[in-house]
Amino acid sequence: MQYEIKQQDKFKFIEEGEGEPLVLLHGLFGALSNFKGLIEYFRHHNKVIVPMLPLFDLDILHTSVGGLEKFVHKFIEKRNYHNIHLLGNSLGGHVALVHALKHPERLKSIILTGSSGLFENGMGDSYPKRGDYEYIKKKTELTFYDSKTATKELVDEVYEIVNNRIKAIKIIALAKSAIRNNLGEELNQIKQPALLIWGNNDSITPPFVGREFHRLIPNSELHFIDQCGHAPMMERENEFNEILHKFLTKLNQPATVA
């Protein structure tokens, strides 16, 4: 299904459905296609919003996790969303965490899947290797448990990015910023309920990273999905949606008095 890309001032975004806002933040090589199954399912229950993150549009000084968080904050203020469920995959999870630490007032919950912010394996010291399609294909496949999830369209998107000199420089700047911006000592300040959904076969943010987030974020619950890599909402969308739906439903149930 094709979704209308809306624009308000400098912000481009998708907004589908009605209800409490579910804001989705994609990762470093992410795109709207990452969230198709999630949008299609949750637009019947929530107002699902996907802002286009300006990965390649910020000046080099602000091409950082902090720069992206400022963009997200301004977007949320411009659209005047409240009671937000903020979901991020990979770098998007990192941005969501920084936002929860700096501007928690509009958030109802935070959802992380394969998030950076504590530890992540990069693409390797030789990355990005421009011009080598097979190398990019193999690296893209490493994102998933099932390499077939890395479709030709997805590999082509990554290949186009790393062969564009300016985009490649900005990808490296963002990756370095994510490594520098370790949140280990701050995560205990997050007060919102947090849902962590991790692939049991994630080689980029391995399962121990999910366990460490769970240990450090006070009000968090952790779910692992088997035979699943770094992008559970793509690779195991049914299980992912079921876990998320149960979490959101539970948040909206009135507390029982003992």
Q: CB neighbours (10 Å) of residue 258?
A: 3
Is 152 within the bounds of a domain? no
On the question of pLDDT at 258 being above 70, the answer is: no
Distances (CA, A) of 78 to 22, 71, 72, 102: 16, 10, 10, 17
Question: Could you identify the residue written with the tokens 């990452």?
Answer: 34
CATH code for the domain of 19: 3.40.50.1820
188 HSE (CA, 13 A, CB side): 4
H or E segment and range at residue 178: helix 165-180
Q: What angle do CA 229, 231, 233 make, to 5 degrees?
A: 120
**Res 31: pLDDT:** 74
Under 8 Å CB-to-CB from 114, ≥6 apart: which residues? 27, 89, 90, 93, 198, 199, 202, 204, 205, 229, 230, 231, 232
C-alpha torsion sign, points 162, 166, 167, 169? positive
Is 145 within the bounds of a domain? no
On the question of pLDDT at 131 being above 90, the answer is: no
Range of the domain at 91: 6-121+182-250
**Res 139: pLDDT:** 86
Is 57 within the bounds of a domain? yes
**Res 120: pLDDT:** 80
Is 43 within the bounds of a domain? yes
Work out the angle between the directed axes of helices 91-102 and 165-180 (0-180°, nearest 10).
50
Is 246 within the bounds of a domain? yes
Separation between Cα atoms, residue 200 and residue 197, nearest integer Å: 10
Is 140 within the bounds of a domain? no
How many domains is the chain built from? Answer: 1
On the question of pLDDT at 124 being above 70, the answer is: no
**pTM flag (> 0.75):** yes
On the question of pLDDT at 190 being above 80, the answer is: yes
68-104: b (≥16 Cβ within 10 Å) or e: bbbbbbebbeebebeebbbbbbbbbbbbbbbbbeeee
Mean pLDDT over 204-214 rounds to 97
Whether 69 and 98 have beta carbons less than 8 Å apart is answered as yes
Is 219 within the bounds of a domain? yes
Label residue 239 by pLDDT band (50, 70, 90). Answer: very high
Q: Which two tokens stand for residue 187?
A: 């995560």
Among the listed residues 40, 39, 56, the one whose alpha carbon sits nearest the alpha carbon of residue 161: 56
Separation between Cα atoms, residue 153 and residue 32, nearest integer Å: 13
